[in-house]
Structure 1
Amino acid sequence: MAIRYRISDVRARYVVIFLAFSFIVLAGRIFSLQVISHAYYRQVSDENSMRMVPISAPRGVIKDRNGELLVANRPLYNISYLPYKGEGEFASKEYLADLIKTDPDIIEQKLDKPIRNRFDPIKLVKDVDFEAICKIEENSERLPGVIYQLDVTRQYPLNNYGSHLFGYVGEISDAELKGRDPNVFKPGDIIGIGGIEEEYDNYLRGRDGVKYLEVSASGKILGYSPHRQSIPPEIGSELILNIDWQAQSVAESLLSSYSGGAVVAIDPSNGGVLVFVSQPNFDANAFAGFVTNELWSQVSNDPAHSLLNRACVGTYPPGSIFKPITAGAALETNSADVNSVFRPCYGAMRFGNREFRCWKPSGHGQQNMFGAIVHSCDIYFYQLGLATGFEAWSRYCIGSGFGQKTGIDFASESRGVAPSTAYLNRKYGEKKWSKSTVINLAIGQGEVLVTPLQMACFYAAIANGGTMYKPQIVSKIVNPGGEDYEMEPEVILRLPFSRATLSFMVEALTAVVDGGTGTPAKIDDIAIAGKTGTAQNPHGLEHSWFCCFAPVENPRIAIAVLVENAGHGSTHAAPIAREILKSYLLEKENI
């Protein structure tokens, strides 16, 4: 009996030890699950019962100098896919595409892109109608991971006005993502493309928020989650432009009747950009929604090149609007004075074995420098260019800001071409270009190329006595808290002309409008200084130019108008400038 008792006692002891060990293991496991791994399993639980839905931050609005709202936001619905909610490969794309009447290849392309975070929604279809949203909601259990989101996109002005000024918004590309902060940018984000949307994207972009929704095991939304607080989005900063929308609209309307062109107007006192037009324009609102391959192909392959910003990217021979450069170079180098005369103009002159013609076949007769500017006599300026010489002409051309960017607050800008000896040697070879090169350059033809923006800046500098300011589209940035950041005027150069030379230019340019080639721009009771230009174009009719500023005694606006393939500057460009001047100076009573 004693032996049997001892055996039972040993067995009981083993059982106790086993139970105690099992309890310890179980307690340890419970401790691990509830304490050590609490965060992980809470996340898994949340993933099964909670849905994170990003809330896109509205971009900041854009207003003109008078407070008129130009670019706002409108609501839209997007359909997205949450990878962490899907079961492996998304097998419902065909069903979804059929449900909302969308090409399944589009959905396939979105899903094929690499993802950085399985909790980030992949935008499948943008800007769908409310009927599609209802279908998604009714069939949510058959579409695991598919959600719809109320979002916002841009609303641009009617008639496509300002499309090159504003640019547009679009989904960030894979290439653009590679160079950006992954903590800020993710696939599907909307960014500014072109214009001030791109240049000021960091200001216009707000900070996205997120809302947490409770869902059933089948994926049906039950309401807001009681365990996580939603984070509201922060709207982007507001931009106040120097643009005068009334004058901008006048320029847009008048230029739209031509095949192409540009208008840039500058405030001579500070460089503020008052008008910035490029035609033909494009529908920026079409890019704000869902952009099909067909739409992009149609716009990008447009034979009229509607995406080309002619105001600051397109380059053109300036023609006679460049004659003040030649006159200024001659005066500063004492190659001629204001009373200098050359051989009379009989409509043409011969130099070597070439004949150079004047725009007026009957000629202008004997002219001094003043009369040659007023009547735009090419024969006089051919001879003035020869008297000045290429090196001097080139030096004053480059010194006036040509061949270099203005620094405008814009996504892209061309330098143009201001020929130098080094440039011509590279293009033609040393000693393979002749002295006659300056003959064409003296009237703004040949190798010299400018942008309308550069010409507006140059005439604004003549207007204010020689100071060229950096052209500035944005006047003020207002952050969501109401704090203002105002852009200060920035001087980029001083024209290389004396006060006497600049005074002569103003006097001659005023006479151009009073009784010379620029009379179509004349307005009663307003003194206007300007110059017409008709630039030869190897691809069609001449380009029509007119540059001006007014009022002469207290300049408030300087304008450069370019009309492509139109003919004489006095016939086409000058009347456009006149109407812009009337809109800005008379209708707003700024004088």
Structure 2
Amino acid sequence: MVQKKKKKKSQLPFRLNILFFIVFLLFSVLILQLGVVQILNGEEFQAEIDKTENDYTEIPVPRGKMYDRNHNLIVDNNPLYSITYTPAKGIQAKDRLNVAEKLATYISMDPHEDKDGNRDYGVSTRNKKEYWYLNNTEEARSRLTDKEIEEMDNAEEYNTMLDRIKEEEIKGYSEKQLEIMAIKKEMDKAMTLTPQVIKNENVTPKEFARVAEHLDVLPGVNATTDWDREKPYGKTFSNFIGTITSQSQGILAEKEEYYLTRGYSRNDRVGRSGLEEQYENILRGRKEKIQYTTNKSGKVVESEVVVEGQRGKDLILTIDMELQEELNKILRKELKTAIQKAPAKNKYLEDALAVVMNPQTGELLAVAGQHYNRDDNEFENAGLKSLYAGHPPGSAVKGATVLSGYESGVIEPGQRFYDAPIKIAGTPEKSSYSNLQWVNDLDALRQSSNVYMFYIAMRMGGDFNYQRNDKLKFDPAAFQEMRNYFSQFGLGVKTGVDFPYESTGYKGPNPQAGNLLDFAIGQYDTYTTLQLAQYVSTIANDGYRVQPHFMKEIRMPVPHEDELGSVYQSKNTNFLNKIVMDDNYIERVQEGFRQVYQEPGGTAAGNFADKDYRAAGKTGTAEYTIFHENGSSTDTENHSLVGYAPYDNPEVAFAVVVPHAGIPNAHPTSKLIGEQILDTYFDLQEEETEEE
């Protein structure tokens, strides 16, 4: 019997067992690690996974304040309640509508009225259609065919749906629904993580408290504080201070690119006029910068302040608000007196303008203008006209004419001419206000001889042998030559004032001999009151023309509201040019100006000869014609006055212009204004000295 062999049991090789064991250990370690990650660090790692992006937003800060030269506060920030909305990422129109509906239960919007007197809350037809669409989305989509949907992009599809909403479907909305639309309209302006003001005017304490109490059900909404500019001096100097935009307006559309490239947001408040605009970069401050970390759904999971906010730097102006207030009173008083004294003659008299400055530094101490509104029988602030309204100044510019004659070599100091009417062939006679007979250069300034200036103009034009009733030899280049001399004083050119706009006046277009004669006595080109102030300051300052300026200092902001910070920057005197003339010529004209104010026969001596402050300057009267729409015309005059004091060490200079005064002069308005300007200035200086 044959025995069968038993099969041996198969056994795994020893090395293979070791391999399985190692694999088992590796899986065990992996499972253990997954457990650690899931159980111990799962929440932390999940949050890290959710953190997908960092975003930044900037919070506006209050603007810097403005003070006058004596540190009197003239522009402050007035806190206001404000309701804002800051959308998170991924927020849809329907989400904003839901928030708007809730917010409308806590605040009321400005009702606003349409042209028919109906309350429309500033809501447009498109706003109404968008509101209807969000509440009837399926109905709106059903009005599109499949083919239209296939051929249109999203924007075209949306606009087509709005277009197909019928007018009758958006009529009859209640005031509450209109308020909801008004709120959503403001919310729609918001950019991601950037606060947008929903309401910051007339937010009541009750509204503020309600919103603050329900922020948990108003995602993105916040009850915070905004600010508005407050001017303790009211309308005094307000035109020069200027205005700022509201947050609902944001940056100026015409300068959008300029502001956006400088770190502004579209809803930032900016200076839109005056010194608010001129010094925007100083007053704006440094916005607070916040970093937001958001997850994939756009929810903010963390925030951190990365740049501390700082309100704008403070601006110290050169203006003396006490002098400014007094100057406005002086202009109103003398303007009113002139009109009441001779209403028939002064029926076109409406304005009085004045500039007061330090001739050695260019600091503007007071700049004012008053306009009389005859319809309302009220005065209005017209200070800006001192910078942009040009008027023929008359004889006030004769100092520049005499200096032009000296430097061009057509006259010498002390030279005499016989003052009698000038008659050029084919033109009317030209004369002084009376026949002054023989006059030299000082006499011509003191007594305001027109004829003396005519001789200078004729000689500069090439005619040294004037004969009555003859034609003049005339080189038209003389016009530009004399204008070049005048420009050295700031006449006909920009003064360089630190303000967004100033006029250079009007230059007459016809360079003819007769017009040059008129130019020489200030009755052809026009100049602003500020240009005249710079002109007389240049003469007072020994021929150095300084740049007029409103800014004296810039100060760092401090947390204590009643204190001023350290000086960040001071405005130094900026010499624009030195008159290219012999110093003796300047001194000669200075003496002539002194005689105008202090010597018998001087055209302003009656107002200034007995004053302790020893003033100097020049009067001016320019005759011209006003042409009316009905074809009629009226002859009138501009009255001007320039001056400075003390004569031997000038610390104050001024210019006054009173356009459209009556003929003959019924009231010496400009002289009385100039006299009171200097009286007031030195009285205030004396008071300050006594206080010290």
Using the size of structure 1 for normalisation, the TM-score is 0.76
Deviates more, 1:73-82 or 1:324-333: 73-82
Distance of aligned partners of 1:384 and 1:43 in 2 relative to their CA distance in 1, 3 Å threshold: closer
State the match for 2:196 in structure 1.
Answer: 122
For residue 367 of structure 1, report the CA deviation from its aligned partner.
3.3
Letter in 2 for 1:125: K
3-state SS of 1:508 partner: helix
Structure 2: which 5+ runs fail to align?
1-26, 113-120, 124-181, 293-300, 336-349, 374-378, 462-477, 558-564, 627-633
Give a deviation string over 1:63-109, Cα, whole Å, max 9, x none. Answer: 22222222222111233333339652543769849824433217479
Q: Partners of 2:404 and 2:198 in 1: how far apart?
A: 61
State the match for 1:519 in structure 2.
Answer: 605
Q: 500, 520, 528: which is aligned to 2:615?
A: 528
Q: Partners of 2:262 and 2:414 in 1: how far apart?
A: 68
Q: Partners of 2:574 and 2:531 in 1: how far apart?
A: 16
Q: Partners of 2:275 and 2:412 in 1: how far apart?
A: 45
Contact in 2 for aligned 1:265/1:275 (Cα 8 Å): yes
Contact in 2 for aligned 1:84/1:119 (Cα 8 Å): yes
For residue 417 of structure 1, report the CA deviation from its aligned partner.
4.6
3-state SS of 1:505 partner: helix
State the match for 1:292 in structure 2.
Answer: none
Q: 68, 74, 83: which is aligned to 2:72?
A: 68
Matched, 1:473 2:550: yes
Matched, 1:38 2:43: no
Q: How does 1:499-510 map to 2 (within 5 A)?
A: 499-510=583-594
Matched, 1:368 2:440: yes
For residue 551 of structure 1, report the CA deviation from its aligned partner.
0.3
For residue 555 of structure 1, report the CA deviation from its aligned partner.
0.5
For residue 154 of structure 1, report the CA deviation from its aligned partner.
1.4
State the match for 1:221 in structure 2.
Answer: none
Contact in 2 for aligned 1:263/1:562 (Cα 8 Å): yes
Letter in 1 for 2:439: Q
State the match for 1:201 in structure 2.
Answer: 280
For residue 444 of structure 1, report the CA deviation from its aligned partner.
0.8
Q: Partners of 2:496 and 2:594 in 1: how far apart?
A: 29
Q: Partners of 1:172 and 1:105 in 2: how far apart?
A: 20
Matched, 1:549 2:626: no
Matched, 1:587 2:684: yes
Q: Partners of 1:29 and 1:271 in 2: how far apart?
A: 76
State the match for 1:575 in structure 2.
Answer: 672
CA-based RMSD of the aligned residues comes to: 4.1
State the match for 1:409 in structure 2.
Answer: 498
Q: 77, 88, 92: which is aligned to 2:93?
A: 88
For residue 543 of structure 1, report the CA deviation from its aligned partner.
2.6
Q: How does 1:22-421 map to 2 (within 5 A)?
A: 34-35=44-45, 38=48, 40-41=50-51, 56-84=60-88, 88=93, 90-91=96-97, 96=104, 99-103=108-112, 104-105=121-122, 107=182, 111=186, 117-131=191-205, 132-134=207-209, 136-137=211-212, 145-170=220-245, 171-181=250-260, 184-209=263-288, 233-256=309-332, 258=335, 259-280=350-371, 309-345=384-420, 349-358=422-431, 360=433, 363-389=435-461, 390-391=478-479, 392-417=481-506
Q: Partners of 1:156 and 1:205 in 2: how far apart?
A: 17
For residue 503 of structure 1, report the CA deviation from its aligned partner.
1.4
Contact in 2 for aligned 1:546/1:569 (Cα 8 Å): no
Q: Partners of 1:584 and 1:250 in 2: how far apart?
A: 9
Deviates more, 1:25-34 or 1:514-523: 25-34
Q: Partners of 2:578 and 2:258 in 1: how far apart?
A: 38
Distance of aligned partners of 1:482 and 1:42 in 2 relative to their CA distance in 1, 3 Å threshold: farther
Letter in 1 for 2:259: R
3-state SS of 2:419 partner: coil
Contact in 2 for aligned 1:398/1:418 (Cα 8 Å): no
Q: Partners of 1:175 and 1:28 in 2: how far apart?
A: 57
Letter in 1 for 2:93: G
Contact in 1 for aligned 2:393/2:622 (Cα 8 Å): yes
Give a deviation string over 1:469-508, Cα, whole Å, max 9, x none. Answer: 1222212112236243222212111123322221121111
Contact in 2 for aligned 1:532/1:569 (Cα 8 Å): no
Matched, 1:442 2:459: no
3-state SS of 2:93 partner: coil
Deviates more, 1:84-93 or 1:179-188: 84-93
Q: Partners of 1:434 and 1:486 in 2: how far apart?
A: 47
Matched, 1:492 2:588: no
Contact in 2 for aligned 1:534/1:569 (Cα 8 Å): no
Q: Partners of 1:256 and 1:35 in 2: how far apart?
A: 76
For residue 26 of structure 1, report the CA deviation from its aligned partner.
13
Matched, 1:563 2:661: no
Q: Partners of 1:110 and 1:319 in 2: how far apart?
A: 57
Contact in 2 for aligned 1:242/1:273 (Cα 8 Å): yes
Distance of aligned partners of 1:182 and 1:388 in 2 relative to their CA distance in 1, 3 Å threshold: closer
Q: Partners of 2:40 and 2:262 in 1: how far apart?
A: 36
3-state SS of 2:594 partner: helix
For residue 138 of structure 1, report the CA deviation from its aligned partner.
7.0
Letter in 1 for 2:74: L
For residue 363 of structure 1, report the CA deviation from its aligned partner.
4.4
Give a deviation string over 1:435-476, Cα, whole Å, max 9, x none. Answer: 222111011112x22222221112111112111112222121
Letter in 2 for 1:518: A
Q: Partners of 1:280 and 1:78 in 2: how far apart?
A: 37
3-state SS of 1:127 partner: coil
For residue 120 of structure 1, report the CA deviation from its aligned partner.
0.9
3-state SS of 2:428 partner: strand
Contact in 1 for aligned 2:446/2:603 (Cα 8 Å): yes
For residue 400 of structure 1, report the CA deviation from its aligned partner.
3.0
3-state SS of 1:413 partner: coil
Q: Partners of 1:569 and 1:32 in 2: how far apart?
A: 95
Q: Partners of 2:216 and 2:109 in 1: how far apart?
A: 16
Percent identical residues: 24
State the match for 2:529 in structure 1.
Answer: 452
3-state SS of 1:562 partner: strand
3-state SS of 1:311 partner: helix
Distance of aligned partners of 1:112 and 1:368 in 2 relative to their CA distance in 1, 3 Å threshold: farther
Deviates more, 1:477-486 or 1:508-517: 477-486
3-state SS of 2:494 partner: coil
3-state SS of 1:233 partner: coil
Using the size of structure 2 for normalisation, the TM-score is 0.66
Give a deviation string over 1:217-253, Cα, whole Å, max 9, x none. Answer: xxxxxxxx99756976312212222222222222122
Contact in 1 for aligned 2:109/2:183 (Cα 8 Å): no
For residue 55 of structure 1, report the CA deviation from its aligned partner.
5.4
3-state SS of 2:409 partner: coil
Q: Partners of 2:424 and 2:683 in 1: how far apart?
A: 48
Letter in 2 for 1:267: N
Letter in 2 for 1:457: Q
Aligned residues: 521
Distance of aligned partners of 1:75 and 1:561 in 2 relative to their CA distance in 1, 3 Å threshold: same
Distance of aligned partners of 1:483 and 1:398 in 2 relative to their CA distance in 1, 3 Å threshold: closer
Contact in 2 for aligned 1:308/1:314 (Cα 8 Å): no
